[in-house]
């Protein structure tokens, strides 16, 4: 995946992390770096955070890189990445949706730039695979949880998000669904029939794998996790370093957790390996989905 497909927000975060590592490698604190560069400490903080309101100007970056003792190779990568943040990229489509929760904005940026997405779902059809009517019912439950305008925008955003699976640089999307997801009636039989038909259709994509964790699997790692979750991996910069650390994303009722510490990611990776091992094969999963569909279609 080229950097042309990576969101500017992620590149800014990556530049900030590289600057932080170079400063720490030089043995300087943020305060000491600010003094050497004749900048305010708040400026150093914003640059290391990759804040939207900071311009990564070459003149400032070159001064920082010199103070930090960056090698020619390190400096070349940082300057090239910074140039990507100034190349006139338009804001992402999600900025038009004013009713999306603020905490969700980062996930959309991450999802849009990921090279692979692995998702375990215990209760629901994943957002990237939902039909519009399934999503509409979801955002009306429980009654009063969203306003009509919030529900409308969130459904529209969810439908637009699904285009990520169809683009030329689409991520690899691997899904493991608890059998209850396809067995439990949601809405009327017609809604579930159309939803399961969509699963079968999207499952034909070469970059999509949909598998079922059957009831017969018994105890499994997903139970220990306690929540559905996603694992995201990202493309590399010119030096071979990931633009964003691999992370586990856990959605909650009022927010989200972005778990990118190695120990946190490793814990969810372990859970993923267990549910992946106990899930049915793609062929057997398709048979189970068809069986569930036929039950709703009668």
**pTM of the model as a whole:** 0.83
- CATH architecture for segment(s) 3-84: Orthogonal Bundle (1.10)
Enumerate the domain spans of the chain.
Answer: 3-84, 93-297
- In this predicted model, what pLDDT tens digit does every residue of 25-69 receive, in sequence order? 999 999 999 999 999 999 999 999 998 888 899 999 999 999 999
Supply 197's token pair. Answer: 């038909």
Residue 255 is predicted with a pLDDT of: 83
| Residue 260 · residue 245 · CB < 8 Å | yes
Question: Is 208 exposed, middle or buried (CB count within 10 Å of its CB: 0-12, 13-18, 19+)?
Answer: buried
- In this predicted model, what pLDDT tens digit does every residue of 124-172 receive, in sequence order? 999 999 999 999 999 999 988 889 998 999 899 899 999 999 988 899 9
> Percent of the chain beyond pLDDT 70?
94
Residue 101 vs residues 108, 132, 253, 255, 270: alpha-carbon distances, Å = 11, 19, 11, 8, 30
Tell me: pLDDT of 93 over 80. Answer: no
What separation, in Å, do the N-terminal and C-terminal C-alpha atoms of the chain show?
Answer: 45
- In this predicted model, what pLDDT tens digit does every residue of 178-192 receive, in sequence order? 999 999 999 999 999
152-156 contacts at long range (C-beta below 8 A, 24 or more positions apart): 152/99, 153/97, 153/98, 153/99, 153/100, 154/97, 154/99, 154/100, 156/97
pLDDT band at 1 (very low <50, low <70, confident <90, very high): very low
- In this predicted model, what pLDDT tens digit does every residue of 118-136 receive, in sequence order? 999 999 999 999 999 999 9
How confident is the model over 210-224, as a mean pLDDT? 96
Residues 41, 44, 48, 49, CA torsion sign = positive
Phi first, then psi: what are they for 284, rounded to 5°? -65, -35
- Stated length of the chain: 298
> Percent of the chain beyond pLDDT 90?
71
What integer best gives the mean pLDDT of the chain?
91
CATH of domain 93-297: 3.30.870
| Residue 292 · residue 196 · CB < 8 Å | yes
């Amino acid at each position: 995946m080229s950097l042309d497909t990576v969101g500017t927000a992620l590149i800014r975060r990556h530049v900030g992390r590289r600057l932080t590592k170079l400063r720490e490698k030089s043995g300087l604190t943020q305060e000491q770096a600010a003094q050497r560069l004749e900048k305010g400490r708040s400026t150093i903080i914003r640059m290391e955070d990759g804040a939207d309101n900071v311009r990564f100007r070459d003149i400032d970056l070159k001064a920082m890189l010199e103070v930090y003792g960056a090698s020619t190779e390190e400096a070349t990568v940082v300057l090239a990445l910074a140039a990507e943040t100034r190349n006139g990229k338009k804001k992402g489509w999600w900025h038009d949706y004013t009713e999306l929760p603020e905490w969700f904005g980062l996930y959309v940026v991450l999802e849009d730039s990921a090279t692979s997405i692995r998702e375990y779902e215990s209760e629901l059809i994943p957002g990237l695979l939902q039909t519009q009517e399934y999503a509409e019912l979801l955002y009306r439950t429980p009654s009063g949880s969203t306003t009509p305008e919030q529900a409308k925008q969130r459904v529209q955003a969810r439908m637009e998000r699904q285009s990520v699976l169809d683009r030329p640089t689409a991520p690899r999307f691997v899904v493991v669904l608890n059998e209850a997801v396809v067995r439990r009636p949601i809405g009327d039989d017609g809604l579930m029939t159309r939803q399961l038909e969509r699963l079968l259709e999207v499952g034909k994509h070469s970059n999509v794998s949909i598998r079922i964790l059957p009831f017969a699997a018994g105890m499994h790692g997903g139970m220990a996790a306690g929540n559905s979750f996603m694992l995201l991996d990202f493309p590399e910069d010119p030096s071979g370093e990931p633009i964003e650390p691999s992370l586990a994303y856990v959605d909650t009722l009022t927010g989200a957790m972005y778990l990118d510490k190695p120990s946190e990611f490793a814990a969810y990776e372990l859970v993923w390996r267990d549910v992946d091992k106990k899930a049915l094969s793609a062929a057997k999963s398709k048979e189970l989905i068809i069986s569930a569909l036929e039950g709703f279609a009668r």
